[in-house]
Structure 1
Amino acid sequence: MKPVELAQRLAARERPAGRPVMKQRWSRLLFLHWRIDPDLLRPLLPAGLHLDLHEGEAWLGVVPFLMERVRPVLMPAVPGLSWFLELNVRIYCHDDAGQPGVWFLSLDCNQPVAVELARRLFLLPYQHARMRYGGDLTATRYHCLRDGELDEAVYEYGPAGEVQEAEPGTLEFFLLERYVLFSVGRNGRLFSGKVNHPPYRWAPAKCDQWSTLPVKWDGLPEPQGRPESMLWVDHVDVHIFPLRRLALEM
C-alpha cells in the first residue's frame, strides 16, 4: 500500500456530512507512545486495514482521560451517566482508500452502561474497569484496574510546556490528529466512525508515573523504557457521527 498523503490527513479533519449522534468532552488527556515493531502489529488488523507509519515507524499508544457531558444530541447530560473515565490502547492504520484512523486494542471504562452501549452501537472492544482520579490539571493522578486483573495501572501527569497546535507532517500531528475509528462487526464487516473537533491544543507532558499494564492486558509484550512521546491536552469538545460500512477493494 502507498503511504497516506498529507492532504488525506488534513482532509480527515473536515466535518463529515450528515448529523452527529452524540456530543461529549474529552479532558485531562495524556498521550503516551512507544515505537514498536510493525510486524507485531500488522496481524492485529482485520482485512481492509493497513498499518499507518510515520517515517517508516509504527507507534503504540496508551491514552487515559476523562469523559464529560456525554449525551445524545439534543439531550442534556445526566449526572451519574455522562461523566466517567476511559483509557484506551491504540494503534494507527488506514483503509484501502488511504483514510487514516485509529484501531483500538481496548478501551477500559468505569461506566457499565457506556461499556455496553459502545460495544453494541460502535462495535468497540470496551472493557469494564474500576477507575478513579484525583489532583488537578497541573498534576492528575489516574488509576485503572481492568476487571479480572490483579495489578493497577497508575499515571501521574500534567503539562510541562507551552500549549500549541501540531504542525502538519510532524510526529505530533501523526499521533494526535485522528478523526476516524475503525471497527469490525459480524461476519468481519468493516465499519468506520468519524468524530469532529477543533485541532488539539497540546503541550509536552510531565509524567512522573506511567504504566504499560494495559498493553499486557491486551496480550502484547509491554514496551520497555520511558514513552518516547508524552503529550498533554486540557480538553476538547467533540461531535460523534454514526458508523458507516466500508467497502473493501477487490
Structure 2
Amino acid sequence: MSKRVVVITGAGRGIGLATAKRFALSGDLLSLNFHSSDDELAEVAKIAKDNGGDAIILQADLSVHEEAINFIKKTEEYYGRIDVLINNAGILQSKDAHTIEWHEWQRMFDTNVGGTWSCISTTLPGMIERKSGRIINVSSELGLIGFPTYASYCASKGAIIALTKALAKEYAPIGILVNSVAPGPIETDMLIKDTIEYNDETREQIPLKRFGQPDEIASVIEFLAGPGGTFMVGQIISPNGGTAI
C-alpha cells in the first residue's frame, strides 16, 4: 500500500471531524474513532472512497485503557500498519479549582492523557519496527498559559505537551516525528456549551475578534502529517488568533 494509514481519535465532531474530512479528500486510509457521535462519519467515509481511499469507523471510549488498545489493534489488523496517529479525543470542564471532585479530576486525566497515552503506546511498536511514523497530539493553548476555572483541563493538556516533547526527543532519531497542536478558542460544540468561555466578552479579547474554526486547526494537523512536517520535532504549534503571543 502506498497510501497513508491515518488514525484520528475523537473524529465524530469538532476538530476531529474537520481533520477527518481533510484526510478523506486526500484519499488516505482512515481509521476514525468516536465515542458517542458518529452522525457525519458515514459521509466522511464516502468522501474517502470517492477519492481513492478508505475508512473504517470504530466506537471506543478511550478513557478505558482496554478499549483504546482494542481500537488501535483493530486498525492494525485491518490495514496492517499505522502511519499517522492523531490524538484528538478529549473533554473540557470549567469549575472553580477548589470544588473539583476527585472523580472529575480522574475522568479528565483518564480521557485526555490516559486515552492519548494508550493509543500512543499501542501504536509505537509498529512504528519503531518500520522506523517511521507521525504522532500529532492535540493539546491546548490553556496547557501553555493556564486559565482560571480550568485547572484540571489545563493540567491535562500541559501533560500532553510535556509528553509530546519527551517522546519527540526519544523517537526522532529512528524516524518517528512527534508534535502537538495547541489550539486557542475554537468554535466547536464543546466550546459552545461552555458559557464561561463562549461569549462576546471572550471574543472581544481575541486580537482577531473571532473564535477559530475547526478547519483552521485541521489544516495545521494536515501540515504536520505531510511533506511540510519532515523537519518538525517536538513542536507545540498554537493557532490561537493572538490570545497567547
TM-score, normalization by structure 1: 0.26
More helix by share: 2
TM-score using structure 2 length: 0.26
Q: Which structure has more RCO (C-alpha within 8 Å, separation ≥ 6)?
A: 1
More strand per residue: 1
